[in-house]
Structure formats: structure tokens, C-alpha cells
A and B are shown apart, each in its own frame.
Chain A
């Protein structure tokens, strides 16, 4: 007699759950020693010598780390705020409108940084900025900020556009019907409804700017290390748990940001 140990399930595929759980394990397993050794009391990232926060303190007191961290945050704040403003305007100009000539070109141009490999953009910017540096002698932060702003635009644009497309034009028509001028329609109806999308876009842009390695590495002038390029430089030397401590903090920032974005994008109105 045949006995079925398990009832037939439409959705079950043999081995899939196992592979999936293995995949999740593989996604998080490598992060465990990274976080773990950031609390090591010893000098080594492989030999556990007891629990301590000394590497967090060391990182905190390291002038290079401090200035790189501040630089990272300042650049990310400026780039994400500017990029989000520009992306919001561009999203308003490319969605929910009758088709017009140039619309697809604008769309392609806004999304260009997503399609071109980072290394290519980085090298192209290096060349352009070298030319400008040579002819003007200016070596300031404008290079870094403008590069970051540019590649942040599509990341801010996408959630804003998605939100706009899900937003009914009729609400704005209703506002106009009730005597609101275009500007007041924008401030009283469009903007409040768009806000979750704008916040999500701004945070994505912030994370993207904060995490960038390649473009920053090629564009920065001397003494303009951000946290990621500082770490990249450190990886060439003997690695101390200081790197683990910095990584753990950055990891924490990412988790918090993603959690907020997740929450924002799932909220209905």
C-alpha cells in the first residue's frame, strides 16, 4: 500500500527551500566574523583574545577616520539633498503627462548612471576633472560633490517616479476644481502625497553616496578620502580590527536606513 507522508502541495519544489535557506545562510554567514572580530581585544582579525571595544575607540580617535567619516557624511548629505530635489522635479516633468518629444531621451539620460559601469564613469570623470584642475587650479570638493550628485539622481528618481505613477491625477484636478492655484495644488496636494517617495529616494541616494568606492577613488583630490576609500587603502596594509569596527558601524547604518525605506515604501498614503 502506498502512503503519502506529506500531502501534495502545489507550491513545493523539491530542494528549493533547502537551496534558499543555504543562500540566506551564505548571505549572512560572512558578516558574522566581521562583526565578531570588531570586538576583539587583540591586534588580529583571526585570533580571538577577548571582548573589548578598543577598536571602536581607536577608530573614533583616529584623525584620518574621523575626517573621512565627516567628509563622507557631508558629501552624502549635500549630494542626496541636491539629487533628490533635482530628481523630484525631473520626475514631475516626465510622469503623468501627455507624451512629448524628448521624453524618452530625458528618461534615458536620467537613468544613464545605472547602465554605464561605474569604472567607466569614474575614468571619464577623472579625465574631465584633470582637464579642469589643470586649467583652473581648483582642487576643492566641487568635483566629489557634483560626481556624487549625478550618480545619486537615478536612485532618487526611481522611487519618486514610482510613487507619482501610482498617484491619481484626479486629486490634483479636484484641487484645481476647488479653486487652488497650480502652486497651491502642488504644496497642498501633490507634495504631501509624494512625500514618502521623496523620503525614500533621498535615503537611497544618501546610502548610495555614503557607500561609493569606485567613483570617489578616481575623482578625489589628495587628502579627500571618504570612509570607503580610506578603508580600501587600509586593506592593502596589515588589517587590524579597526576596519571591522568601521564596517560594523556602516553595516548598522545600512540596516537602519533600509528598514526605514522599507517601512516608508510599504505605507499606503
Chain B
């Protein structure tokens, strides 16, 4: 087996409260492989099982089914203190009765390193997270952002094979969060350690990760690079959770080579590229990003017709809400060139034109 796989999660399920009648399936047959030196992100709404997956990898919980491998070796039976994996906890979990350097040195001390080694590594870690001048402070004497850095340094100090980060930035304010995003990327780059990062913030996931796994209700729905997840969502939940999306249903008419012809509710027929395993007929949902649709000029061939109900200015863009006869309006987002918006009176009948290549077919 190739050594480039850091963590291999194989068909893992976790059911809490088994046999109590109040069973919660936190993870449902999850499989994922995380490569070495990868910045891998678990993205999903609160309660979808992200923390549970991290806790399984760290060894705080045991899987109900399935196995977890670390660099090819089965670790399911190892207690947390024997796994070369460290965690940055959601609320940092710094020891309140120890100073900053004692916190950072704790793991090294427990590993039985010599005093000099501990001191050296703690010094290196303090400078890595730029906390040298606060090394003797107690934990309640430093700010949230600083606690965040100490938690990172503490988890990195023993040089784990994998670092698990459970929503480490969620408690910080926006400005600090942006700074720490850059900082985290830098640390991952400098240390070369595999990062498994958990967040419910899609923007954070897209900007930081090499690959993202989108989770919902205990399942991984899609794994891929940020641009794949954004541009090629293969699931309605993924498309909805990441960015804004218009959903419209269409009826398949016929396949024509690599393309498929389908009819939109408006009656207009379009051809779009489609994967070979798509059914030959029936209803299907299409996803169209608001910024990939345009208000058709007079000469354009419009795919969809509707009437403008609202126009909302949001700074860089303007959003047009167009009633196309479905329950929710179709949204078109247009960038404001030179701060100018294209003013259209509400009630006007408009056409929407979409490049067929940007339409995504969803399986649900």
C-alpha cells in the first residue's frame, strides 16, 4: 500500500446510545482517505458528525462499525495517548492551572523527552506562533486569539503525524479569523503535517483547503478540491450549502452522444453535457449559480423567461429576483461595473440566459 495515505477511514459508523431507545446515528458508513501533507477540511452544518469523526480519529470514541488506519496501520484499538495524532479542541481546552509554556511542553513531557529537549521544542514552538513574550502567563491572562495560538503550539509540539482541528477559528472575531486562516496555512506549510480541519463555514473551507469533504447527517456527500465542490456539486445539499444556487427541474427528452436534451418548465429545450450514467428519461434537477446566469439582452437567445420582482443592491453586485413560475424566484447576480447598476423596473418581463456548460445536473 502506498505510504502517501495519512488517514484511511473505512466504512465507519458511529451510533450513540445504542440499545437505549434514543439512538443517534452520528456517522453513517463514512469512508474517506486523507493524503499525507494535505490540508483536508470536513465541512458541514452543526450536528452533522464532524466532531465525532475527529474524536474517532483521535481515539476518544470507538466506532460502532468500520476501521481507521493511520499510515496503513490499524489504530482502532489504540488509546488516545498512544496515537501520534494531536487535536486542537473547539474551545482550546488549555490547562487552566498551567502557564503558556507548561501547556506547550505538556505533550513532550508525557512522551518522556529530556528537560533540554522539552525546553528547546517549547522555545521553537513559541517563536513559531509568535508568543515568546507571553510564555510565563497563566491561561486566563491571555486573549482568545493568543489562547488559539497556544493551543496550536501545544498540539504541534510533539510533531504529530496528523493534526486535528475542531472549528478552531469559530470563537474568534472576523478580523482575527482572517489572520488566523493565513497563519494556519503558513503553519501547515512550514511543518508539513497533515491537517484535518473542521468548519461549518463554507468560505473558510474553500479558501484554506487542498480538499474538502462536505458532510450532512452523518454522511460524506462529496469530496473534492474547492473548485470542484463549488463548480461541480453532485448533490442538491452540496450545491445549496456552498454558495447560492438556483434549482430548476427539467425533463429529460433524449440522449445525444455526450449531451442530453431536456425541457425546462418554460417549455424551452436545451442541450447540456451529461455523465453517461444518467437515466434516459424522467425528471431531473439542475443547479445554476446566480453569477453564471445573465439577464438576456434584446438580441440574446434566452433560456428562461420571467418577470422581475425585486432588485437588490449588495455592494459589489446587484441581485435580480425573477419570477419564473416556480416556488422560489430565480436569482441572477450581476457584478456592478464602475459602481453602476443596471436598473430595470420591476414587473418588466426579462429573459435569463445561461451557458449550458455551467449547468450542473444533480442526483438526488
- A and B touching (C-beta < 8 Å)? yes
Task: Identify which of A174, A184, A185, A188 gathers the most chain B CB atoms within 10 Å of its CB.
Answer: A174
Q: Chain A: interface secondary structure?
A: helix
Chain A residues whose CB sits within 8 angstroms of the CB of B216 once the complex forms: none
Q: Given that A184-B110, A189-B95, A269-B96 are contacting pairs, would A178 and B158 also be in contact in the complex, using a CB cutoff of 8 Å?
A: yes
Let me know if A181 is at the binding interface, CB within 8 A.
Answer: yes
Whether A176 pairs with B140 at a CB distance below 8 angstroms is no
Within 8 A of B (CB), among A230-269: 268-269
Whether A176 pairs with B80 at a CB distance below 8 angstroms is yes
Whether B107 pairs with A178 at a CB distance below 8 angstroms is yes
Whether A170 pairs with B93 at a CB distance below 8 angstroms is yes
Query: Using an 8 Å CB-CB cutoff, how does the interface string of B111-153 with A read, 1 for contact, 0 for none?
Result: 1000000000000000000000000000010000000000000
Residue from the list A177, A181, A193 in contact with B96, Cβ < 8 A: A193
Let me know if A168 is at the binding interface, CB within 8 A.
Answer: yes
Let me know if B357 is at the binding interface, CB within 8 A.
Answer: no
Let me know if A92 is at the binding interface, CB within 8 A.
Answer: no
Residue from the list A171, A178, A188, A269 in contact with B86, Cβ < 8 A: A178
Query: Using an 8 Å CB-CB cutoff, how does the interface string of A29-66 with B read, 1 for contact, 0 for none?
Result: 00000000000000000000000000000000000000
Residue from the list B79, B91, B97, B110 in contact with A178, Cβ < 8 A: B110
Let me know if B230 is at the binding interface, CB within 8 A.
Answer: no
Residue from the list B81, B89, B94 in contact with A181, Cβ < 8 A: B81
Q: Chain B: interface secondary structure?
A: mixed
**Contact size range, A:** 20 to 34
Let me know if B211 is at the binding interface, CB within 8 A.
Answer: no
**Contact size range, B:** 20 to 34
Let me know if A213 is at the binding interface, CB within 8 A.
Answer: no
Let me know if A142 is at the binding interface, CB within 8 A.
Answer: no
In the bound complex, what is the Cα–Cα distance between A203 and B58 (angstroms)? 40
Query: Using an 8 Å CB-CB cutoff, how does the interface string of A149-176 with B read, 1 for contact, 0 for none?
Result: 0000000000000000000101101111
Chain A residues whose CB sits within 8 angstroms of the CB of B97 once the complex forms: 192-193, 269
Q: Given that A184-B110, A269-B140 are contacting pairs, would A176 and B93 also be in contact in the complex, using a CB cutoff of 8 Å?
A: no
Let me know if A122 is at the binding interface, CB within 8 A.
Answer: no
In the bound complex, what is the Cα–Cα distance between A192 and B98 (angstroms)? 10
Chain A residues whose CB sits within 8 angstroms of the CB of B89 once the complex forms: 170, 173-174
Chain A residues whose CB sits within 8 angstroms of the CB of B96 once the complex forms: 171, 193, 269
Let me know if B237 is at the binding interface, CB within 8 A.
Answer: no
Chain A residues whose CB sits within 8 angstroms of the CB of B158 once the complex forms: 178-179
Q: Given that A179-B110, A269-B140 are contacting pairs, would A170 and B86 also be in contact in the complex, using a CB cutoff of 8 Å?
A: no
Whether A176 pairs with B60 at a CB distance below 8 angstroms is yes
Q: Given that A193-B97, A269-B96, A269-B97 are contacting pairs, would A173 and B140 also be in contact in the complex, using a CB cutoff of 8 Å?
A: no
B contact residues vs A (CB 8 Å cutoff): 58-60, 79-82, 85-87, 89, 91, 93-97, 106-107, 110-111, 140, 154-155, 158
Known interface pairs A173-B60, A173-B93, A269-B96; 4 further A-B residue pairs with C-beta atoms within 8 A, sorted by A's residue number: A173-B89, A175-B110, A176-B79, A177-B107
